[in-house]
Structure 1
Amino acid sequence: MKTNPVMTLLAAACLASCGEPGASSADNSKIPVENFGKLPDGREAHLYTLTNKNGLVAKISDLGATLVSMQTPDKDGKVQEITYGFDDAAGYLSDGNPYFGATVGRFGNRIKDGKFSLDGKEYSLATNNEPGGIPCHLHGGKIGFNKVLWDATADAGSNSVTLTYVSKDGEEGYPGTLTTKVVYTLTDDNELKWDVTATTDAPTVLNIVQHTYWNLSGTPNETINDHVLTLDADKFLPTDKGLIPTGELAPVAGTPMDFTKPTAIGDRVNEKTEALEFGGGYDHAWVLTPAEGMRHAATLQEPKSGRTLDISTDKPAIQFYGGNFLDGTVAGRDGVKYAYRTACALETENFPDAPNQASFPSAVLRPGETYKHSMVFKFSAK
């Protein structure tokens, strides 16, 4: 997408002076910002480009606080795209968007029957997903955080973009006005950091997650089955046919869910087990080895390119989704139709359906408290 730099800066200044939601800050100066397409109400989405001294490029949109693009070098220094996404805002707003690169909320992952109780009151949410023919609430509802325009400010000094969104009381059925801030930072240590904080004026539930789809080969539609995955987790959460956790924390040892040692994703994905049959493959939460603060969660490697992605987090679980519902019908970046099991998502998170399961870590946020979630992607190649 080519733009006139002078006109881009003038447009950014104009939007900032308007003070409207989704406006870009006039202090962006040294971080390139370009138009990314219009929303139905006429507001303009924007795309911010972060680069580091090693040639890594991260592109972030204020639509959905989305990681639109991540470009990294392979073992020979060739820089290529390693995420799935769309060319402009229209793709991200479409019904066919499977949450590519989005900041997902208020509650990422699933809530059983779209219902939960909090302080004696029952709340009903949209049932916008039905795995196994069983309706549930998924990723915040019909218009979740991924389809709204966030306020954005870029800071060249920290090589970061800060995005803020105020979700009003009752939005998508959730109680409380929630103010969420997301910061993307690209460092010269080849780390992309995603940090979230949120506060509320009334008790609510939340589980804000980052939902990028990865294919480290640099070639869209190469199978993800050759990628080698390690998860720092000796337990996972079995589900029912509707992909809602049963409440059990099951050991992975001796099962196809065991990624405690580096294992090719495709080695056991077609084994006849209940977990894989219910999920159509891998689509489960793994319980990370308990630790205080940030801890290593996962390593994803692609043998031919030599690329490695290490993920760290301060959350207790990671959802590994193997692209089982990609079917070649979604036309993404450059018109490529993304095929079955050609990308995977690794989403650090609280446990799915936590509002309905007392034994799970609490998903409740109350006034005076601050929700925090940090996730670090570290890229290397050899």
Structure 2
Amino acid sequence: MNLTQVPFGTTSDGIGVDLFTLTNDHGVQVQLTNYGGTITSFLAPDARGELGEINLGFDRLEDYLTRSPYFGCIVGRFGNRIAKARFQLHGKEYRLAQNDGEHHLHGGVKGFDKVVWQAQPFQNDAGVGVRLDYLSPDGEEGYPGNLSVTVTYTLTPQDELRIDYRATTDQATILNLTNHAYFNLAGHGTILDHVLQIFADHFTPIDATLIPTGEIRSVAGTPLDFRQPTRIGERIDQDDEQLRYGGGYDHNWVINGPAGTLRPAAVLTEPTSGRRLEVHTTQPGMQFYSGNMMPDSLPGRGGQVYTKRSGLCLETQHFPDSPNHPNFPSTVLEPGQVYQETTVFKVGTTA
């Protein structure tokens, strides 16, 4: 196991940012920066044992500062959408930034993806990693409470990238943390030939503005049924209301099994490379986003140009707009409570 730390540049207000490289004995390598807790690179072996990039990203900090579509970052305080950018908590209404039409998205104008976290690299029996800490002050982006957040990335000897989230608050608030990595197991091209399995019998339908209706609907008989391994491109262009609303897949699945326990959420494979990605999580849901709104031409790492559906996201989470749907799992965090969630991305091959 190996860990290195080098300067990665400075933000527009002069704060220095570092780049951390985590490597295990199999050559699996994860690079991340404490700007936004962003995973900038993820190298994994293919079926022939050759290492290749499976994560969309940029070479320079400047690109993350100016034009990133949430590549690889931590999103918060509230990942995903909140309808009309408002919610009620203990009888009081809170108003947030409307940064997605009339709605609130991924924590607002300056969410957790756009702040510099305090970083502490470590190496122990579990692997090599970086602990990131951030204190989000009361009122930041309209959210109540001083929120103390810790996100720990660990690369294990078992080829797992483990992400542990922990947070406490001094007054009632809402919280929904996730990572927004874009994966492409082939390293290039679209993700339409990837094969995906999601361990979910239900999903939360959306309206035309991508806000959940509040219904929890069976996937049976819909293009959102990924209970068996299915090629992503097989049904993505079907004439289906939910696919029309999302421009493809941009939905939350209700992961089978009890939330709070680490259990399988998804398996992604890619036939030409033979790469395999397993997702396990304690979270109740997972957003599968098929990159429908990516720019037509986005210069990326190493001279690559990313286009629509060049990458996909598997964002483990609580359900979107949870504060406005009492039937959804609660995202309220009270003083004295500890928010704790874990997600594990395990790389391997199909052979």
Same fold (TM over 0.5): yes
1:368 aligns with 2:336: yes
**In the aligned structure 2, how far is the partner of 1:278 from the partner of 1:72?**
34
The answer to whether the aligner puts 1:308 opposite 2:280 as a matched pair is no
Aligned to 1:341: 309
1:260-317 deviation line (CA, Å, top 9, x unaligned): 0000000000000110000000000001112251110000000110000000000111
Q: Name which of 173, 185, 205 aligns with 2:154.
A: 185
String of CA shifts for 1:300-337, please: whole Å, max 9, x gaps: 00011000000000011100000101133322212322
Secondary structure in 2 aligned to 1:32?
strand
Q: Which residue of 1 aligns with 2:51?
A: 79
> Runs ≥4 in structure 1, deviation > 6 angstroms?
none
For the residue of structure 1 that corresponds to 2:193, the secondary structure is coil
Contact persistence 1:129–1:138 (CA under 8 A): yes
Q: 2:22 aligns with which of 47, 50, 53?
A: 50
Residue aligned with 1:334, SS: helix
Q: Measure, in 1, the Cα distance between the counterparts of 2:257 and 2:159.
A: 26
Match of 2:286 among 314, 318, 321: 318
In the alignment, does 2:4 pair up with 1:37?
no
CA contact under 8 A between 1:193 and 1:376: conserved in structure 2? yes
Q: What one-letter code is carried by the residue in structure 2 that aligns with 1:84?
A: L
Is 1:63 the counterpart of 2:23 in the alignment? no
Secondary structure of 2:299 counterpart: coil
The structural deviation recorded for 1:251 is 0.8
Mapped to 1, the partners of 2:17 and 2:224 lie a distance apart of 40
Unaligned residue ranges in structure 2 (runs of 5+): none
Alpha-carbon offset, residue 50 of structure 1: 0.5
Aligned to 2:99: 128
Select which of 112, 132, 138 maps to 1:163: 132
Give the Å deviation of 1:90.
Answer: 1.2
Deviates more, 1:345-354 or 1:155-164: 155-164
Aligned AA for 2:194?
Answer: H
* Cα offset, 1:342, TM superposition: 1.4
| Partner residue, 1:109 | 80
Moved more, 202-211 or 285-294: 285-294
Pairing partner for 2:173 from 204, 216, 220: 204
Distance 1:156 1:315 in 2: 26
**Does the 8 Å contact 1:282/1:321 carry over to 2?**
yes
Q: What's the TM-score, normalizing by structure 1?
A: 0.89
The structural deviation recorded for 1:103 is: 0.6
Aligned counterparts, 1:233-382, within 5 A: 233-291=200-258, 293-381=261-349, 382=351
Return the letter of the residue paired with 1:53: D
Structure 2: distance between partners of 1:147 and 1:89: 11
Q: Contact 1:97–1:330 (CA<8 Å) still a contact in 2?
A: no
- CA displacement 1:100-145 (0-9 Å, x = unmatched): 0001000000000100011111111011113xxxx21000000000
Q: Which residue of 2 aligns with 1:99?
A: 70
More strand by share: 2
Identity value in percent: 49
Paired residue secondary structure (2:68): coil
1:27 aligned residue? none
Alignment of structure 1 residues 1-40 onto 2, 5 Å: 31-40=3-12
| Distance in 1 separating the partners of 2:109 and 2:291 | 21
Partners of 1:32 and 1:174 in 2: CA distance: 35
SS of residue in 2 equivalent to 1:159: strand
CA deviation profile, 1:150-172 (whole Å, cap 9, x unmatched): 00000123411100000000000
Q: Distance in 2 between matches of 1:106 and 1:88?
A: 25
| Aligned-residue RMSD, C-alpha | 1.0
Q: Could you tell me how far apart the structure 1 residues matched to 2:182 and 2:216 are? A: 26
- The question of whether the paired residues in 2 share the 8 Å contact of 1:51 and 1:186 is answered with yes
The alignment partner of 2:306 has SS state of coil
Letter in 2 for 1:215: N
The CA distance in 2 between the partners of 1:205 and 1:93, in whole Å, is 26
* Alignment-mate amino acid for residue 110 of structure 1: R
Equivalent of 1:176 in 145, 166, 174: 145
Q: Structure 2-normalised TM-score? A: 0.97
Query: Partners in 2 of 1:171 and 1:331 — Cα distance?
Result: 32
Aligned residues of 1:328 and 1:337 also touching (Cα < 8 A): no
Number of positions where the alignment pairs a residue of Structure 1 with one of Structure 2: 346
Any idea what SS the aligned residue of 1:67 has?
strand
Show structure 1 runs of 5+ residues with no match.
Answer: 1-29
Amino acid at match of 1:328: D
Letter of the 2:42 partner, please give it: M
